[in-house]
Chains A and B, each alone.
Chain A
Amino acid sequence: MHIVWSSLIIQLIAFLILLYLLKRYAFGPLLGIMEQRRQYVAEQIANAETSKKEAEQQLEQQKQALQEARKEAYDIIEQARATSSKQADDIIQVAKSESTRLKDEAVKDIESEKNKAVAALREEVGGISVKIASKIIEKQVDEKSQEQLVNQYLKEVGSK
């Protein structure tokens, strides 16, 4: 085994130069990049966590908003229902009073018509009976006493 000492010195120097060059131009930047990547990943994870939290918060808010909207809708429906039933009651009330009024009017009308008819009938019957009587007794009784007699009978009939 023959040792060439100059090779040893040259290798020593060459290795130290290589070490410096690699550190300066290759491994230094690469280790920096690896460190940056580590930070980048940590950052991304943190970001993801914040986004998740935000999303959860928003979901909660939306749920609350939905709940409120539902409640409002329910209130509106309830109100509408109350209003409508009140209106229906009113309408029924009005209709009832109208019908009562109409009925009363009709009754009144009937009454007056009846009275009119009775009066007309009375006149007619009076005339007809005078004619009949005058035909039967052939003008023995004068018209004045005859009418008196008929009126007397008719009163008796009408009071019954």
Chain B
Amino acid sequence: MDHISPIVHVAGIEFDLAVIAMILITSILVFVLAKLAVRNISVTNPTKLQNFLEWVIEFVQNIIGTSMDLKKGRPYLILGLTLIMYIFVGDMLGLPLGIVTEVHHGATFLGMDLFLDGEEEAHIAWWKSPTADVAVTGALTIIVVLLTHIEGLRLNTKHYLKHYVEPHWLFLPLALIKEVSKPLSLALRLYGNIFAGEVMIAVILGMGVWGIPALVVWQGFSVFVGAIQAFVFCMLTMVYMSQAIVHEEHGEQH
């Protein structure tokens, strides 16, 4: 019952068709949701969806407010909003259904050969959470972590560079390990949680009819996990950002 990804090779580059499709679907869904919310936008008479989106905005503003001064965090509000909505919608998408096809060696999709890793027969999963792929979470993490370093260098140059060699230059390796572990933990936490959830769903499906109660319970739990992971990703983004751009008060002499 091992599901593999629909991988094709075009011009020597490996493409995962399922992940590409899910990235597009999730992005379009998030955009349509946000666009619907700002339809008939109004100051005094907001629609229900507008109210909901405003609630999300305030929620993210609160997340930013807990880690840094809201004035400094204002530029990252839209980043945080996009992250939390994209990850939440991505987490939820994998839950309600799965599309699995059984293929044999030499099968093609739109004229492209499907790569079966040498197996004669395989089950290909076409529908899954985009966040259950380590490349996707890695990409999100790269954006966040690169941005923290750029903003740290741009807004807080002296303190940002100094924190690598504080309290002594011998601590440089430790600081570097810390900088590497941050994106790793961020990417792997999200990937691990969602991927594990999908694996668990596949296992429960293997139980047949008797698995239905377990499936209901596990899907409910997965909704919770997905929401928590979206929140945690957004929260940690803001925490890392504040670490990079906000310097400690005691070192400050104006």
Residue ranges of A at the interface with B (Cβ–Cβ < 8 Å): 1, 3-12, 14-19, 21-23, 25-27, 29-31, 33-34, 36-37, 40
A27 and B34 form a contact (CB under 8 A) = yes
Q: List 7 A–B pairs whose Cβ atoms lie within 8 Å, in order of A's numbering.
A: A3-B135, A4-B7, A5-B135, A7-B136, A22-B81, A29-B38, A30-B38
Contact with A along B130-147 (1 / 0, CB 8 A): 100111101110110000
- Chain B residues 9 to 36 lying within 8 A of chain A, measured CB to CB, are 13-16, 19-20, 23-24, 27, 30-31, 34-35
A40-B44 contact in complex given A11-B136, A26-B35, C-beta closer than 8 Å:
yes
B14 and A30 form a contact (CB under 8 A) = no
A8-B139 contact in complex given A14-B24, A26-B38, C-beta closer than 8 Å:
yes
Asked whether B42 is an interface residue with its Cβ less than 8 Å from the other chain, the reply is yes
Question: B112 → chain A, closest Cβ, in Å?
Answer: 13
A10 and B23 form a contact (CB under 8 A) = yes
Q: 3 closest A-B pairs (Cβ-Cβ)?
A: A26-B34, A11-B139, A7-B135
B78 and A4 form a contact (CB under 8 A) = no
A15-B82 contact in complex given A21-B31, A29-B38, C-beta closer than 8 Å:
yes
B143 and A29 form a contact (CB under 8 A) = no
Q: How far is the CA of A8 from the CA of B130 in the complex (A)?
A: 11
A14-B23 contact in complex given A6-B14, A19-B82, A30-B53, C-beta closer than 8 Å:
yes
A18-B16 contact in complex given A11-B139, A27-B57, A30-B54, C-beta closer than 8 Å:
no
Q: How many residues of chain B get a CB closer than 8 Å to chain A's CBs?
A: 43
Main secondary structure of the interface of B (DSSP, over half): helix
A29-B142 contact in complex given A6-B16, A22-B81, C-beta closer than 8 Å:
no
B78 and A23 form a contact (CB under 8 A) = yes
> In the complex, given contacts A7-B20, A26-B53, what are 15 additional A-B residue pairs having Cβ atoms less than 8 angstroms apart?
A4-B135, A5-B14, A6-B15, A7-B19, A8-B138, A10-B20, A15-B86, A17-B27, A21-B31, A22-B81, A26-B37, A30-B37, A30-B53, A30-B54, A31-B77
B135 and A19 form a contact (CB under 8 A) = no
B142 and A14 form a contact (CB under 8 A) = no
Question: A84 → chain B, closest Cβ, in Å?
Answer: 65
Query: Which B residues touch A30, using CB under 8 A?
Result: 37-38, 41, 50, 53-54, 57
B31 and A12 form a contact (CB under 8 A) = no
